[in-house]
C-alpha cells in the first residue's frame, strides 16, 4: 500500500466519522513526522523504554543517564552484552530490567529482533518479535510503532488514554473494553494511529458538552 501523508490520513479519518471530524476541527492537525534512525538508535530507544517502565520521569532519567555513562559512544547490543550485570545494577537498574535490556541486546544480536531492516516488517510481525523480549509487552511495542516508526495503522486498545479519549469524544457513560474499542476502531483502517492520536488529545481538549 502506498505511503500517504499524515494530512491525507487525517482527512480520511474525519470523513468517515462525524464525531472524529468535530474533534479534528477542534484540535487541529496532529503531527507524526517520519524519522529514519539507525539500528543502534532503535536499540537505544527500546532499551530506554525498558529502563523507564514503572518509574517517575526524573528517577528514570537519572538511572538512564548513569547507565548510558557506562558505554562510550553509541549504545549497541554488543556494548551491552559486554557489560557485567553488577555494573548495570550499580547504575540503578533493577535485576529484572538489567536482564530485560541484556535479553533485548541478545535478541537484536542474533536477529530475533532485526532492527537493521525493521522497516521491511509488518506491524504484526514487529509486535510479535518485540514481545518475545523479556520486559517488552504489546503496549511498548505499539508505542514504538507509533512514535518511532510512525506507522499509521496502530490501534492500542489497552491504552488508558485512548480508551478515556474515546469515552470523552463519544460521550459514553463508561470506558469501552479493549474488545469493544477494537471493534469501534475498524472504521478507521488503515489509519487507526490517527484516531488514537486524536483520542489522546480529546482527554486534554475541551469538547462541546464536557
Q: What is the mean pLDDT of residues 51-80?
A: 93
Enumerate long-range contacts of 99-103, CB under 8 Å, 24 or more apart: 99/134, 99/135, 100/50, 100/133, 100/134, 100/135, 100/136, 101/47, 101/50, 101/51, 101/135, 103/133, 103/134, 103/135
Q: Is the dihedral of CA 190, 123, 98, 116 positive or negative?
A: negative
pLDDT in tens, 170-181: 999 999 999 999
Can you list the alpha helix ranges (DSSP code H) found in the chain?
A: 6-16, 18-27, 39-52, 57-68, 77-82, 85-90, 95-109, 123-130, 138-147, 160-170, 178-185, 192-203
pLDDT per residue as tens digits for the range 149-169: 999 999 999 999 999 999 999
Of 7, 30, 18, 23, nearest to 165 (Cα)?
23
Considering the chain, what percentage of its residues have pLDDT values greater than 70?
93
Q: Please give the pLDDT value at position 2.
A: 55
pLDDT tens-digit series, residues 28-50: 999 887 555 666 799 999 999 99
* Residue pointed to by grid coordinates 557506562: 70
Active site residues: 159
- CA 102-104-109 angle, to 5 degrees, is 95
Amino acid at each position: 500500500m502506498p505511503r500517504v501523508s499524515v494530512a491525507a490520513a487525517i482527512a480520511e479519518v474525519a470523513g468517515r466519522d462525524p464525531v472524529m471530524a468535530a474533534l479534528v476541527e477542534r484540535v487541529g492537525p496532529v503531527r507524526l513526522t517520519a524519522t529514519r534512525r539507525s539500528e543502534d538508535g532503535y536499540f537505544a530507544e527500546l532499551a530506554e523504554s525498558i529502563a523507564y517502565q514503572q518509574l517517575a520521569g526524573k528517577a528514570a532519567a537519572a538511572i538512564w543517564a548513569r547507565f548510558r555513562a557506562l558505554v562510550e559512544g553509541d549504545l549497541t547490543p554488543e556494548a551491552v552484552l559486554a557489560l557485567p550485570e553488577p555494573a548495570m545494577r550499580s547504575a540503578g537498574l533493577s535485576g529484572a530490567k538489567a536482564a530485560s535490556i541484556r535479553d533485548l541486546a541478545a535478541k537484536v544480536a542474533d536477529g530475533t529482533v532485526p532492527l537493521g531492516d525493521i522497516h521491511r516488517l509488518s506491524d504484526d510481525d514487529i509486535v510479535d518479535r518485540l514481545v518475545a523480549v523479556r520486559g517488552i509487552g504489546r503496549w511498548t511495542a505499539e508505542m514504538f510503532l507509533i512514535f518511532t516508526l510512525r506507522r499509521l495503522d496502530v490501534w492500542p486498545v489497552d491504552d488508558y488514554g485512548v480508551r478515556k479519549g474515546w469515552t470523552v469524544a463519544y460521550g459514553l457513560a463508561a470506558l469501552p473494553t479493549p474488545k469493544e474499542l477494537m471493534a469501534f476502531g475498524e472504521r478507521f483502517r488503515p489509519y487507526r494511529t490517527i484516531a488514537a492520536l486524536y483520542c489522546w488529545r480529546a482527554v486534554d481538549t475541551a469538547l462541546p458538552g464536557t
